[in-house]
Amino acid sequence: MAKTLNLSMDQGATFSNTIPILDANSNVVDLTGYTAQSQMKKTYAANVSYTFSTSVSNTAGLVTLSMTANATANIEDGRYVYDVDIINSSNAVTRVIQGVVIVNPRATVPT
């Protein structure tokens, strides 16, 4: 079962968050040979999604989610849902994290 982790993102700012992937006993999961994927949407049924860039730190058991400032600038402020999947070398997909992303509005708009 996926663990819940809520995130906050500032509109128009570079976003990066590193998440430890732990097993049921709170031990770091060795992610050697794994890749990750993650998206956020307004609702789980929404057709529009925003894809996070992902990177995996193998034996450290870390997945980093990121978006550029240009990407976050195009996301309307508000509440979104997201999840993170890890994929092993046999292409088995496991959802490890899920939660809410709050996108905070910006006042400063580049000229």
| pLDDT tens per residue, range 53-80 | 999 998 899 999 999 999 999 999 999 9
Beta carbons of 15 and 111 less than 8 angstroms apart: no
Task: Determine the Cα–Cα distance for residues 91 and 78; give it in Å rounded to an integer.
Answer: 33
Class of domain 3-104: mainly beta
* pLDDT at res. 110: 73
Sorted by sequence, the CB contacts under 8 Å of residue 101 that are 6+ apart come out as 6, 7, 8, 9, 40, 79, 80, 81, 82
The whole-chain average pLDDT of the chain stands at 95
Cα gap 54→83, rounded to integer Å: 12
User: Could you tell me the residue ranges of all domains in the chain?
Assistant: 3-104
